[in-house]
């Protein structure tokens, strides 16, 4: 009878404007505010949904995020929704500030929907899906060892700039035929684009990000096109072949944009590969600093490294939230979310929902990782999740193999505020050789 009554109910329109705000629960962007938010939002009596300061619906509970992500009406933000007015044909010859960012990001899988999204996703996953990524495990470990051996022992270094960025830069650089200098520069320029991910944007920050976007695109797109021309780089040539087979019209308002060269496709989609994956490595290091006993266990039982990295990234997920939009009225759990509603999918919060993960603040090497939302979920789940996890794992494996321990060398909570990510400015550490 209860199920019958539920089936006969008339869905109720969700009035987003009437919801409490994220700020009411302590969230204004960045990791510090995010932790405060989780401490409040999951207490008994807290609302099911909230709204952002821009009026977007904020979804933060694990069950809602997972269920809504599976709904086809929950769409990615298309290029013209992300960058209104910046990609029109009427722009002057001297492009406005912000155009370089928009012109780069329009090439991303994350700015497409429907059939194009599925096709572009297939192009990427053919090269960076679970099997091809697993096949690169040994190369990733060798890169991690190379990075570690180039670092001084017993001296303070910044793990962001000296470990995380070089490791991820060199990993991608090897795949697309970049020189070491190019690979390291791409990682640095990706970091300099960080202000484009701030919740409250300032003019100087956008100028910096736009300039960095030009430099980043030049090096990555240039390397991709050069590798295609000279040959001998299957990662690029196979991707170019698959990309060329997509015969679809551009739809900047919903469907998305078909990148016109493999270089543009690589530059657009590897921004997250360089930027977010570097955060994953840095956040893994940061979490292990909080739990030195875990590294002791891993030196004794290296087969548990994968579980440790997954738990590190559950606790310190790089991405706090991503934006979506409701493309048509979405019926969900006796509610109607109107078409055009912007939605903030707070994936990192779901990892801390006590309804999904018991004692969520505890580091648990035996915790089942089923349902973890570190890399999102649904049709728009991050295709780079396998690489990000692999590279973070390769670093921990290298630390164990080289018998190197890592400890804090100062302030390790320099988290960037006003941010959609959990990102450290700097992470000072000291590397030391363990006693044999």
CATH code for the domain in which residue 402 is found:
1.10.630.10
Q: Could you give phi then psi for residue 153, rounded to 5 degrees?
A: -95, 145
Name 199's bridge partners.
none
Cα–Cα distances (Å) from 368 to 51, 244, 288, 363, in that order, read 31, 40, 19, 12
Q: What is the b/e burial string over 124-163, where b = at least 16 CB atoms within 10 angstroms of the residue's CB? A: bbebbeeebbeebeeebbebbbebbeeeeeeeebbbbbbb
What string of DSSP letters covers 316-349? Answer: T-SB--EEEEESS-EEETTEEE-TT-EEEE-HHH
Total structural domains within the chain: 1
Domain that holds residue 251: 2-433
SS3 at position 136: coil
What string of DSSP letters covers 369-395? Answer: -TT--TT--GGG--TTHHHHHHHHHHH
- H or E element at residue 102: helix 99-105
Burial category of 186 from C-beta neighbours within 10 Å (exposed 0-12, middle 13-18, buried 19 and up): buried
SS3 content of the chain, % helix, strand, coil (to 5): 50, 10, 35
| Contact criterion met (CB below 8 Å) for 191 and 281 | no
Tokens of 138: 């040994």
Count of other CB atoms within 10 angstroms of residue 356: 18
The predicted structure's pLDDT at residue 7: 56
Per-residue pLDDT of the chain (436 residues; tens, 9 = 90+): 344 455 567 889 999 999 999 999 999 999 999 999 999 999 999 999 999 999 999 999 999 999 999 999 999 999 999 999 999 878 778 889 999 999 999 999 999 999 999 999 999 999 999 999 999 999 999 999 999 999 999 999 999 999 999 999 999 999 999 999 999 999 999 999 999 999 999 999 999 999 999 999 999 999 999 999 999 999 999 999 999 999 999 999 999 999 999 999 999 999 999 999 999 999 999 999 999 999 999 999 999 999 999 999 999 999 999 999 999 999 999 999 999 999 999 999 999 999 999 999 999 999 998 999 999 999 999 999 999 999 999 999 999 999 999 999 999 999 999 999 999 999 999 999 997 5
Length of the chain, in residues:
436
**Dihedral sign, CA of 430, 272, 56, 331?**
negative
Contacts of 82 (CB under 8 A, 6+ apart): 102, 105, 111
Report the side by side order of strands in the sheet with 342-345: 50-51, 57-59, 342-345, 322-326, 74-76
Cα–Cα distances (Å) from 76 to 73, 268, 367, in that order, read 10, 15, 31
Q: Could you give phi then psi for residue 169, rounded to 5 degrees?
A: -65, -45
Tokens of 37: 């938010």
What string of DSSP letters covers 216-237? Answer: HHHHHHHHHHHHHHH---HHHH
Tokens of 383: 């295709």
| Contact criterion met (CB below 8 Å) for 423 and 402 | no
SS3 at position 408: strand
Report the side by side order of strands in the sheet with 330-332: 12-13, 335-337, 330-332
């Amino acid at each position: 009878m209860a199920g019958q009554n539920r089936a006969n109910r008339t869905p109720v329109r969700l009035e987003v404007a009437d919801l409490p705000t994220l700020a009411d629960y302590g969230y204004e962007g960045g990791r510090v505010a995010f932790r405060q938010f989780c401490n409040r939002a999951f207490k008994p009596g807290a609302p099911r949904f909230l709204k952002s300061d821009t009026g977007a619906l904020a979804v933060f509970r694990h069950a809602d995020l997972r269920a809504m992500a599976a709904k086809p009406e929950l769409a990615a933000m298309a290029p013209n929704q992300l960058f209104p007015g910046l990609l029109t044909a009427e722009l002057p010859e001297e492009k406005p500030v912000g155009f370089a960012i928009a012109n780069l990001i329009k090439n991303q899988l994350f700015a497409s929907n429907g059939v194009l999204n599925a096709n572009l996703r297939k192009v990427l996953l053919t090269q960076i899906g679970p099997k091809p990524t697993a096949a690169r495990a040994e190369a990733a470990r060798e890169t991690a060892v190379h990075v570690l051996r180039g670092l001084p022992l017993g001296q303070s270094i910044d793990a962001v700039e000296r470990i995380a960025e070089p490791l991820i830069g060199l990993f991608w650089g090897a795949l697309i035929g970049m020189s070491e200098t190019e690979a390291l520069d791409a990682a640095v320029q990706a970091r300099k684009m960080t202000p484009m991910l701030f919740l409250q944007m300032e003019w100087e920050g956008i100028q910096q990000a736009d300039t960095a976007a030009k430099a980043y695109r030049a090096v990555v797109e240039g390397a991709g096109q050069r590798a295609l021309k000279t040959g001998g780089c299957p990662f690029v040539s196979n991707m170019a072949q698959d990309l060329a087979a997509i015969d679809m019209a551009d739809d900047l308002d919903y469907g998305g944009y078909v990148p016109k060269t493999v270089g543009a496709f690589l530059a657009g989609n590897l921004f997250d590969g360089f930027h977010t994956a570097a955060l994953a490595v840095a956040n893994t290091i940061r979490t292990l600093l909080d739990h030195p006993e875990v590294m002791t266990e891993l030196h004794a039982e290296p087969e548990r490294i994968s579980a440790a990295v997954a738990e590190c990234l559950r606790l310190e997920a790089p991405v706090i939230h991503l934006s979506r939009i409701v493309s048509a009225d979405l019926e969900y759990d006796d509610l109607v979310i109107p078409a055009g509603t912007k939605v903030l999918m707070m994936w990192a919060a779901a990892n801390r929902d006590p309804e999904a993960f018991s004692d969520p603040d505890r580091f648990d090497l035996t915790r089942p990782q089923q349902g973890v939302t570190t890399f999102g979920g649904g049709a728009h789940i991050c295709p780079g999740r396998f690489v990000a996890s692999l590279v973070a794992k390769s670093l921990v494996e290298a630390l164990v193999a080289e018998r190197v321990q890592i400890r804090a060398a100062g302030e390790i909570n320099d988290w960037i505020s006003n941010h959609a990510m959990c990102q450290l400015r700097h992470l000072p550490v000291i590397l030391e050789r363990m006693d044999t």
